[in-house]
Amino acid sequence: MKPLRILIVDDNRDLSDSLGILLEEQGYLVTVVYSGEEAVDRAREEAIDLAIIDLKLPGINGAEVLRAMRRLQPGCQNMIMTGFHVDRLLTEATEDGAVCVLHKPFPMEKLFTQLAEIQQN
Amino acid sequence: MPGTNDIEKLLHCFFDAGLIGMVLSTPRKEIAQFNDTFCGIVGYSRAELATMTWKDLTHVDDLQASTAQFDRLMAGEIEGFSQDKRYIRKDGNIVDVRISSKCTRKADGTVDYFITFVEDISERKQAEEMLLRYEQIVNASTDHLSFIDSNYHYLAVNQRFLDVFGKRREEVIGHSFADVLGKERFEKFSKPRLDRCLAGELIRFESLFDYAGEGRRWVEVQYLPYRREDGTVAGVIITVHDITDLKNTAEELKKHRQHLQELVAERTAELESAQQELLRNERLSVLGQLTATVGHELRNPLSAILPAVYLLKMHMQSDDKRVTSALERIERNTGRCDKIIAELLDFTRMTDFALQPLSFDAWLAEVLDEQTVPEGLTVRRELNLAGAVVRIDPDRLRRAVINVYDNACQAMAREDNPNGITPAPCLTVSTRSINNRIEIRIRDNGNGIPADVLPRIFEPLYSTKSFGMGLGLPTVKQIMTQHGGDIEIDSNGGHGTCVTLWLPLDLTEKGPGS
């Protein structure tokens, strides 16, 4: 089975870098970016199967990144990470087709379960 | 005896004395002789009167009656008559007169002359009319009025007086107060006051009075001394005025005023409390925004800890218990930090309250299904709302239920049971509709809440737990009051606790079982 190509978008480098290493060790092809602008640039250049996007980003926010992903990479699945439980951006993102929401802080096991499900499909 | 000439002279004296108008007239109604007094009464000169007849002087409305009497005299039916009638004076004014006529007859019985005395009675007529007017005014009064003399005898009363006491005028006038209104009433009640009035004092008092057919009424009575010109008191003018309506109106007004004052006080209190609530809400709103920002910001660094720890765990592969415990502690305390943030966010969340109709028991069962049941604990469900649909904010109410549920689990998990006997931990969650409420009751058989803790249990930041901010129950209370309901706690130290979360029944869209 071809490994999933994953794009991680979070301006908290401690989180995005740790996640990047962890997922690489799990055998995924990972690209880590720290802003919405970088994420959109990457989406223009390379194919992505799954984007894990933080909702609150400086500049282009997570909901806007999600919409850009859907336009540029129609086959890409999108996950949202957020510290907010109720939020306008979260509602937007959910309506725009986010496959799941990871409420920060989330245990790694939960992320792996979600990834396994996506890999299956 | 005076001679014939003397008598003639004397008669002329009579005629000219002017005590009364005198006229000698003919059967043809011509005015033959008259004195100056008569001229004065009708306002015509001697020369003018010489050419006039009775008919010219008499008021047209009195003509018929006058002529009738004249005709009877002429016919010999009567010898004389007296009559009140009106003359038209030369200046056009009417003058009231009383005439007294007699005729002298010839030997064959036909009338020779008429002798007539004419008295000007205008002043008396005016006085009579004035009196009549006053009588009508007095009778028109709805007060009953009377006048008694210094011997307590009625000299005058108005119509209303007679109506009120159901008497005829002749039964009252000339009779004593005691005869008309009763001896006892007079002696005990009225006489002392009448005597004071007769001594010159104006008396006023209020009294209850039984009116024939109108029942008991409040009246204001006034005794006014009636003074003669020399100032001595000759009687008492009594006026009795019905003030029942006035009194009732005053009572009503008083009641309204009191009610108004109460209302104002009530509204003021409401306003003050609303203002305080506003201030509180504003403070909470600022606090809420601050907390929300800090909370969410904290969740970011917290979320970076977990993958880092996970990586460490993977790579250390250490069997050293100290290392694995340390990593677990990091994870556990990251979780605790997150819980504190959640508790804070829950308490300060003011907005996003939205009701939606849900099948209540089914919803509650789902919430309970999500909860982990600690080992050894039995959870019983007694959901009795039979399909009732209730409008709730499911997310908020879920927080409330979970909060109370967790508290109950913790109460039973404690090992320091003061009774020394640990019953099998059992938690019962029940629902019912009772007394206009929808109730969720969560009952445990744990240690109960100590009596000294119970009164402070809803104080924010009051906690007896090692890890807890003391915002749990205050948040539950807040959620319940947002729904228009409340939380009630019944705890019997050492014998468990029953927490009731209730909602007003009017949130029900579809009744139980319907």
Quickly list DSSP for B76-140: TS-SEEEEEEEEE-TTS-EEEEEEEEEEEE-TTS-EEEEEEEEEE-HHHHHHHHHHHHHHHHHHH
With 50 as the cut, is the pLDDT of residue B514 above it?
no
Check CB contact of A58 with chain B, cutoff 8 Å.
no
Cβ–Cβ pairs < 8 A, chains A and B: 52
**Tens digit of pLDDT for each residue in A24-46?**
998 999 999 999 999 999 999 99
Put simply, the answer to whether B304 touches A18 (Cβ < 8 Å) is: yes
In 3D space, the residue among B154, B157, B132 whose CA is nearest the CA of residue B144 turns out to be B157
Check CB contact of A91 with chain B, cutoff 8 Å.
no
Name the residue facing A18 among B296, B298, B311 (closest C-beta): B311
A 25-44: CB under 8 A from B: 25
pTM value? 0.48
Measure the CA angle with vertex B414, ends B409 and B419; round to 5°. 115
Check CB contact of B318 with chain A, cutoff 8 Å.
no
How close B419 gets to chain A, by Cα (Å)? Answer: 40
**Tens digit of pLDDT for each residue in A46-88?**
999 999 999 989 889 999 999 999 999 999 999 999 887 767 7
3-state helix, strand, coil split of chain B in percent (to 5) is 50, 25, 25
**Tens digit of pLDDT for each residue in B339-390?**
888 888 887 775 567 888 999 999 999 999 988 888 888 899 999 888 889 9
- Which chain B positions have a beta carbon within 8 Å of A25's beta carbon? 311, 314
B 346-365: CB under 8 A from A: 349, 352
Put simply, the answer to whether A21 touches B295 (Cβ < 8 Å) is: no
Q: What is the DSSP letter of B60?
A: G
pLDDT value, residue B336:
86
Put simply, the answer to whether A105 touches B310 (Cβ < 8 Å) is: no
DSSP bridge partners of B240: B144, B221
Which contacts qualify for B108-111: CB closer than 8 Å, 24 or more apart? B109/B76, B110/B27, B111/B27, B111/B73, B111/B74
Put simply, the answer to whether A18 touches B295 (Cβ < 8 Å) is: no
Residue of B nearest to A20 (CA): B307
What value of ipTM does the predicted structure carry? 0.86
Q: Do the strands B111-120 and B21-25 form a parallel or antiparallel pair, or are they unpaired?
A: antiparallel
Name the residue facing B307 among A15, A56, A84 (closest C-beta): A15
Percent of chain B residues topping a pLDDT of 70: 95
User: What gap in Å lies between CA A38 and CA B279, rounded to an integer?
Assistant: 45
**Tens digit of pLDDT for each residue in B282-291?**
777 787 778 8
Check CB contact of A22 with chain B, cutoff 8 Å.
yes
